[in-house]
Amino acid sequence: MPNQIDGFVYDHLKIIWQADPSQTSRAVYQAARKHPQIGRDRYSERTVNNLVRKWKSELVPLEPDRMLEPWSEDWGHEAERIKTLLVLHDVARSVCLEFGITPIGGLTEGVSHWACKLRAFFDLSIRLDCLMLLYFAYSFNREHRFAKEMKEPFDLDTDVSKELMAWHWRGHESTLPDQSLEQEDTAPLWMQEEEHVAWVVAHDFSPTWGKYRFGDIGFRLNTAVQEEVDHGNS
């Protein structure tokens, strides 16, 4: 790891770059300096430049994630899968219209795969659950594709896996400490206003949103989420 920066900083720099692998090292450095968790850490622009150069040399881009046409054969024939995709398509289209984003033509193959895979964690009769399933399906698909592009393992140590476990353990005796709930930028997404959750989900379907969700403000909750996961495992 160049210049002995610690693993926490390294991981966060990589996530900033992951938001847009075509961006320059200077853009990554500037975004990192604005970040609330690593903005004051000790690392130089040269270090970031070396890291970005290394990551770009290792990246092998995948083919674009293709869109699945609603009601097509790609939706399959299983009733539960069709129900999941239809409900999520309806919710995604609704929030896109609500926030002035061009309505989606369908969910991508990867997002659909993860939505069905994660379905058991959510109640499709509850709007917040539908929004969070879309959020997690998008997040898992993006991180899984990126891991493939970087030829890295995709395991339970990923932030999105920990965040899903925090969602699973929500409402148990140990909710997040009161102080974490007072600050919106540290509270888990599902504990924020539902309209904010809808806004985040809607912007997942905007081509420029990744730079924000996974960049400057994308490092939500790591501390708060980890506390809830740890409690669930205790």
- Domain end residue (candidates: 11, 29, 58): 58
- Specify whether 33 is located in the same domain as 93: no
**Residue indicated by tokens 């129900």:** 83
Torsion angle defined by CA atoms of residues 164, 169, 174 and 175, in that order, rounded to the nearest 10 degrees: 50
Q: Is 82 in the same domain as 126?
A: yes
Q: Of 228, 187, 217, which Cα lies nearest the Cα of 37? A: 217
Per-residue pLDDT of the chain (234 residues; tens, 9 = 90+): 445 688 888 888 988 888 788 889 999 999 999 888 888 888 899 999 999 999 999 988 889 899 999 999 999 999 999 999 999 999 999 999 999 988 778 899 999 999 999 999 999 999 999 999 999 999 999 889 988 998 888 887 788 898 999 999 998 755 444 333 334 446 899 999 999 999 999 988 876 554 445 443 343 433 333 333 343 444
Q: Is residue 66 part of a domain?
A: no
Full residue range of the structural domain in which residue 93 is found:
73-233
Query: Which pLDDT belongs to residue 14?
Result: 87
63 found inside a domain: no
Asked which of 58, 82, 100 is the last residue of a domain, the reply is 58
Residues 6+ apart with CB under 8 A from 19: 210, 211, 212, 213, 214, 215, 218
pLDDT of residue 1: 47
The span from the CA of 2 to the CA of 47, in Å, is 7
**Residue 26: inside a domain:** yes
What local confidence, expressed as pLDDT, does residue 215 receive?
41
pTM: 0.76
Name the 3-class secondary structure at 157.
coil
Split into its structural domains, the chain has a count of: 2
CB 98 within 8 A of CB 127: no
Q: Are residues 108 and 176 in the same domain?
A: yes
